């Protein structure tokens, strides 16, 4: 069904390709060749010495987030910074870099942290690292020449020194993509392998394996395993299809044991429009915030399968503990320093409210979220001074998945709706017939002093008054979060 009331800014502010054009000579790769180029950057990279930062969009990270085309990211938090480690770049995919950020907005290239030129047993095909902290050290697990290596450093930015021999070859034809998980009891496990799934315990030295190797896997497993634990349940995420496929994507399975058996649960990522192949993920929760997860992965907008880009979006669980499908975005995530307070999943109790903007008229009157003309059909949403019309009364219901349903109190009870589920900023906001899709789910997050931002599930942008217009009747759209008054909302008695 065509459901467009008003289409503002058509095609504007497209941020699907936001990385620096970079070219490298690649040789010796048969499967996962390193990325060699990307589309023009719309966010203006800033260079300072060896550091390169990709600027954020307002107070959001934007996607992609790294200033080069690369893939297969891992992410950790250490010493007040987030660190992302992707597949190696440089000659023959031999140079692993780390990228750091204090708040998920701007990422700085920390330089080469491991160079395969300094590894005795393999010098090419450096893919898919995994980094963990333990014993006062940082352990860097990686693929090289289709074997698994491990290097050690006292710093998350290296230099990492290889142990001198491969840690494992694994079983199967492609023993790649290592991931190390440390359980709450202190036992560490390494997961790896394409098609053949390998799981084995690590010794406390973190550079040698012990015990029996398991191959128990979900029936549709392909590659890129990643494990987290939540409420005594182990979640195994993994990628499906070859990385070159437009439908390369992430699925997951669960178990009560870190070595399985695994119960297949469902799909997490899907291609969206020009964004293809969203896969090979890592997950991190904000420090001290057990329910605030970030999902880091690669994707591409180019027909060149090697022009992959690293992106970040939020990840949520529903009330039954299932991972919700990731909402692919071009805006990314909001500023989130590791020291910032945790967000409350459902800060507003279910009930009926008038939703007031922080913007007032020039005479000082409040402006409220309002249905144009108090219309009972599908209609535009705007601002207006306070009236008795039920078009300014909104019924909130928390859906137990990080989002709310917001329905009008008018007799037809239309739903607050994002036009066409657009992921681009500038999309119009309206009321529409009630559906269960992402167009009609909204996240509410506190921004202090009783004010909130209201974020669309599709696109991750926030309710915003066009141009901050203080005139009653100004249109309401979604836009990237910038912390300005037109994006602040308060929930009052109706």
Active site residue 2: no
Residue 159 φ then ψ, to 5°: -70, 140
Do 299 and 371 fall within a single domain? no
Q: With respect to residue 204, please indicate whether it lies within any of the assigned structural domains.
A: yes
Residues of the domain holding 448:
351-492
Alpha-carbon Rg for the chain in angstroms: 24
Considering the domain architecture, whether residues 306 and 389 belong to the same structural domain is answered as: no
According to DSSP H, which parts of 16-83 are helical?
Answer: none
Among 266, 293, 315, where does a domain finish? 315
Same domain, 201 and 58: yes
Residues 373 and 298 in one domain: no
Q: Are residues 310 and 443 in the same domain?
A: no
Catalytic residue among 103, 162, 177, 223: 223
Within a domain: residue 167? yes
One domain, residues 360 and 470: yes
Same domain, 74 and 160: yes
Q: Quick check: 177 and 243 in contact, CB under 8 A?
A: no
The reply to whether 199 falls in a domain is: yes
Domain termination residue (choose one: 292, 315, 338): 315
Based on the domain organization, do 172 and 60 belong to the same domain?
yes
Is the separation of the CB atoms in 87 and 282 below 8 Å? no
Q: What is the pLDDT of residue 14?
A: 37
Same domain, 383 and 261: no
State the Cα–Cα distance between residues 387 and 366, nearest whole angstrom: 11
DSSP state of 468: G
At 54 the pLDDT is: 55
Provide the number of structural domains found in the chain: 2
Are 397 and 468 in the same domain?
Answer: yes
Return the CATH number at 301. 2.115.10.20
C-alpha span between 398 and 285 (Å, rounded): 22
Whole-number Å distance between alpha carbons of 268 and 423: 17
> Residue 170 has what pLDDT?
77
Q: What is the pLDDT of residue 55?
A: 64
Asked if 140 contacts 129 with a C-beta cutoff of 8 angstroms, the reply is: yes
* Residue 444 domain flag: yes
Task: Name the residue among 303, 304, 309 with its Cα closest to residue 280.
Answer: 309
pLDDT for position 381: 98
Give the pLDDT score at 30: 36
Same domain, 272 and 219: yes
CATH code, domain carrying 370: 2.80.10.50
Distance (Å, rounded) from C-alpha 212 to C-alpha 420?
Answer: 51
Tokens of 353: 């409210």
Query: Which of 315, 336, 368 is at the close of a domain?
Result: 315
Q: Is 74 a catalytic residue?
A: no
- Give the span between the Cα atoms of 148 and 171, in whole angstroms: 11
Query: Do 142 and 126 meet the contact criterion of CB atoms below 8 Å apart?
Result: yes
Q: Does 320 reside within a domain?
A: no
The active-site residue out of 33, 35, 58, 72 is 72
- Give the residue ranges of the chain where pLDDT is below 70: 1-55
Q: Is residue 355 part of a domain?
A: yes
Asked if residue 61 belongs to a domain, the reply is yes
pLDDT at 51: 46
Instruction: List pLDDT tens digits, range 173-205.
Output: 899 999 999 999 999 999 999 999 999 999 999
């Amino acid at each position: 069904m065509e459901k467009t009331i008003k289409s503002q800014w058509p095609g504007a502010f497209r941020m699907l390709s936001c990385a620096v054009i970079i070219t490298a000579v690649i040789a010796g790769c048969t499967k996962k060749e390193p990325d060699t180029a990307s589309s023009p950057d719309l966010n203006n990279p800033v260079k300072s010495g060896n550091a390169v930062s990709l600027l954020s969009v307002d107070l959001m990270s934007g996607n992609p987030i790294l200033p080069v085309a690369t893939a297969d990211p891992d992410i950790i938090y250490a010493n007040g910074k987030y660190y992302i480690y992707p597949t190696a770049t440089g000659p023959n995919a031999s140079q692993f870099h780390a990228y750091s950020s204090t708040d998920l907005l701007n990422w700085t290239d920390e330089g080469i942290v491991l160079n395969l030129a300094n590894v005795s047993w393999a010098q090419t095909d450096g893919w898919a690292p995994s980094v963990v902290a333990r014993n006062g050290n940082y352990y860097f697990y990686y693929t090289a020449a289709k074997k698994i290596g491990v290097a050690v450093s006292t710093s998350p930015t290296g230099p990492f020194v290889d142990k001198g021999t491969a840690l494992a070859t694994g079983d199967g034809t492609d023993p790649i993509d290592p991931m190390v998980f440390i359980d709450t009891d202190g036992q560490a496990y390494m997961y790896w392998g394409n098609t053949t799934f390998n799981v084995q315990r690590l010794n406390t030295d973190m550079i040698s394996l012990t015990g029996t190797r398991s191959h128990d896997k979900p029936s549709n497993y392909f590659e890129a395993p990643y494990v987290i634990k939540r409420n005594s349940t182990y979640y195994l995420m993994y990628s499906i299809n070859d990385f070159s496929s437009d439908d390369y994507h992430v699925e997951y399975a669960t178990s009560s044991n870190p070595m399985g058996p695994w119960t297949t649960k469902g799909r997490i990522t899907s291609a969206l429009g020009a964004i293809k192949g969203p896969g090979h993920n890592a997950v991190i929760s904000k420090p001290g915030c057990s329910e605030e997860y970030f999902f880091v992965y690669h994707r591409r907008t180019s027909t060149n399968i090697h022009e992959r880009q690293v992106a970040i979006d939020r990840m949520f669980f529903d009330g039954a503990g299932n991972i919700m499908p990731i909402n692919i975005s071009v805006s990314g995530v909001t500023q989130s320093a590791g020291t910032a307070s945790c967000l409350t999943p459902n800060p507003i109790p279910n009930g009926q409210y008038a939703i007031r903007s922080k913007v007032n008229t020039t005479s000082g009157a409040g402006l409220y979220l309002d249905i144009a003309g108090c219309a009972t059909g599908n209609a535009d949403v705007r601002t207006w001074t306070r009236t008795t019309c039920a078009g300014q009364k909104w019924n909130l219901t928390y859906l137990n998945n990080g989002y709310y349903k917001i329905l009008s109190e008018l007799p037809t009870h239309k739903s607050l709706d994002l036009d066409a589920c657009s992921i681009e900023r500038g999309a119009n906001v309206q009321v529409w017939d009630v559906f269960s899709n992402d167009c009609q789910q909204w996240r509410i997050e506190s921004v202090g002093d009783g004010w909130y931002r209201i974020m669309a599930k599709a696109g991750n942008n926030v309710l915003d008054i066009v141009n901050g217009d203080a005139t009653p009747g100004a249109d309401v759209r979604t836009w990237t979060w910038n912390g300005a008054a037109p994006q602040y909302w308060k929930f009052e008695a109706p």
